[in-house]
Amino acid sequence: MPAQAGPGLLRRAARRWLPRRLRAEVAIARRHLRDRRRAVPFATRRGDASDFPHAFEGYALPMTIYPGQEHLAEGKRHNQRLMAAALDGVLVEPGEVLSLWRCAGRPSARRGYLPGAAIVAGELTAEDGGATCLLSTVLYNAGLLAGLDVVERHAHSVDQYGEARYFEPGRDATIEYGVLDLRFGNPYPFAVLLELTSDDERVAATFHAPVAELPAVEVAVELPPAGAEAWSARTLRTVTPSGGEPRREDLGWSVYRVPDAQHRESAARA
């Protein structure tokens, strides 16, 4: 009697033989179905900034344009502005989950996005809506500093730029529509409001609250000696409520593959 192919084997075969775009659509459909079954309470409403006069510590990064990618610079700036506008002002009620992609939607040319740099299967290329990992990294750090629960976050798989990287190791967040999301949960008894802005010089994010007594948050990264082919970073966070005891969290390891010299050279030409 022939052996039966299990679901795991079928999934591996599909990943190997299906075109990337079709694989992505399958993954998107599966994620939407899973979220629906779990009845995830996503944040969707906008709030009034005047109701949130107090701010957690914010975070910002410069609009880095790498040598050899000048032809994609306008797309990078444009895509950051478009995505920031979709997320700015989002209200996250207690118990709700802020999902970057639920708020931003599909980053397609039809919705106004331009080609930008993107890493696909470990290779640097250009695609519509690319270069938005700068924004997701800024948002990730703002969420960390606001003491929000990290529901989902993914590190970059490749350390493409080495010492010229725009992010601090262990504090980056890569995204891919419907596949790799950035999600936060609101652990507080009050709502928080996201302020997210982007211009030609930088991307900045801050969470705001209606109360003045906010926790103190510290983020630290441990960097063990790097290997020849990959290296890792461990992210730790300490959240100390006003008048309370500190709570220490191990946010896990980020593992980065080290590309060879040929890949680094191609990055400058993407």
Per the CB < 8 A criterion, the answer to whether 56 and 92 are in contact is: no
Q: Which residues contact 161 (CB under 8 A, 6 or more apart)?
A: 66, 264, 267
Q: Which residues contact 175 (CB under 8 A, 6 or more apart)?
A: 100, 101, 132, 133, 136, 154, 181, 182
Q: 3-state class of 80 per DSSP?
A: helix
According to the model, what pLDDT value does residue 22 have? 83
Q: 3-state class of 120 per DSSP?
A: strand
Nearest to 208, CA basis, from 49, 44, 43, 42: 49
According to the model, what pLDDT value does residue 9 have? 57
The pLDDT tens digits for 158-169 are 998 889 999 999
Tokens for 120? 């696909």
Per the CB < 8 A criterion, the answer to whether 153 and 140 are in contact is: yes
According to the model, what pLDDT value does residue 247 have? 97
β 97-99/115-120 pair status: unpaired
Name which of 50-54, 212-216, 253-257, 264-268 the model is least confident about: 264-268
What's the pTM value of the predicted model, to 2 decimals? 0.88
Arithmetic mean of pLDDT over the chain: 89
Name which of 89-93, 99-103, 128-132 the model is least confident about: 128-132
Nearest to 84, CA basis, from 213, 206, 232, 215: 206
Over residues 111-133, the mean pLDDT reads 83
Q: Is the pLDDT of residue 226 over 50?
A: yes
Q: 3-state class of 195 per DSSP?
A: strand
